[in-house]
Amino acid sequence: MPEFLTVDILFVIAVIYFSPHILISFPLILLIIVSSTILLNFVGQKRRKELAEIKSIVYNIRKNIYSSPQEIILSGNLKNLQEEIRLMFEKSKNDIEYLKRLERMRTEFLANVSHELRTPIFAIQGYIETLQNGALNDPNVNTYFLEKANQHTTNLNNLLNDLIDISMIESGEMRMSFRYFNINEYMKNIVAELLPTAEDKGLELIYQPVNDKLQLFGDKNKLRQVMINLIQNSIKYTESGKVEVLVKEEAKFGEIIIRDTGIGIPKEDLDRIFERFYRVDKARSRAVGGTGLGLAIAKHIIEAHGSKIEVKSVVDEGSEFSFKLKK
């Protein structure tokens, strides 16, 4: 009840109660009561109108009639409430869009997983059926078919491992073990491990040593997964020339760089290469192997280190991937 109406009524009661011997004009009292009732009814109608206005706005929001917050307009004393409803509407709209985007990503992910699993499974099945139908007794092809089946089995196992990694990363279950380690010794071991692969293609795999006392902070095992992936990719997509691995020391960071003289990446694909299962050249990517998840996993691991993978590339000239770790 409005304050001025309460005061009027209390005044009338007080006068009647405390002044029984004073002649009170009954018409005056009646006038005060009637006017208060009229005012109270007017205020009530105004409140009912405001509530109806709010109800109409809520109904329109529920029916998705509004396309933007600016379409929500309230009158008079409801201006403050208008801004709050607009903010609520915008948040709800963003939440709905986010959920729709997640659903699209989930659907695409399941479709991609099904396709990637089907490819090696069908290949293995085909080789086994061929062997069963008589090729097993043919020394000219039986070993070849077995080797191919084994290769696809390895690809399938790699895919499943990458899927497990992606699942653990996105669910927050991947455990990270951060500590300082000698980056020079660490990089030498990784490069030495991949050197035979590069030499088989006639490529130079070069490591440029850094300050032997440089210690960087990170999870050695997870970073090894990143380095193996980036260097292997450079080797896969480089037909001639070299793959170079560098560590540059800065004031607070150490920058790790993998540079190659390979086929490069088209400009329009640079922003998408870290997406799950995204392939710049699908036919070529499958021919050289890979699950299509390596760069997505690498991106997540580097971001967990508070850093970001940067990429520069020119078609037919080469690519450069880099990221920084804290000293």
Q: 237-252 burial string, b = 16+ CB within 10 Å, else e?
A: bbeeebbbbbbeeeee
Which structure tokens are listed for 209?
A: 């040593």
Which structure tokens are listed for 56?
A: 């109409």
pTM of this structure:
0.64
Please give the full DSSP string across 107-148, using - where no structure is assigned: HHHHHHHHHHHHHHHHHHHHHHHHHHTTGGG-TTTHHHHHHH
User: Residue 208 phi/psi, 5° resolution?
Assistant: -95, 105
Q: What 3-state class would DSSP assign to 59?
A: helix
Q: Can you give the residue ranges of every domain in the chain?
A: 3-93, 111-170, 179-326
Other CB atoms within 10 A of residue 118 CB: 10
Residue 85, burial from CB neighbour count under 10 angstroms (0-12, 13-18, 19+): middle
Q: At what angle do helices 294-304 and 142-170 cross, to 10 degrees?
A: 30
pLDDT tens digits in sequence order for the chain, 327 residues long: 444 445 445 555 555 555 554 445 566 666 666 666 776 666 566 677 777 777 888 877 777 888 888 888 887 777 777 788 888 888 888 888 878 877 777 777 777 777 778 888 888 999 899 889 888 888 888 888 899 889 888 888 888 888 888 888 877 777 889 999 999 999 999 999 999 999 999 999 999 888 888 999 999 999 999 999 999 999 999 999 999 999 999 999 999 999 999 999 998 888 889 888 877 765 445 555 567 788 999 999 999 999 999 999 999 999 999 999 999
Choices 1.10.357.10, 3.90.1170.20, 3.30.565.10, 3.40.50.300: CATH for 179-326: 3.30.565.10
Which amino acid is residue 316, in one-letter code?
D
CATH topology of domain 111-170: Helix Hairpins (1.10.287)
Looking at residue 179, what DSSP letter applies?
E
Cα 82 from Cα 65, distance rounded (Å):
16
CB neighbour list of residue 50: distance below 8 Å, 6 or more residues apart: 76, 77, 78
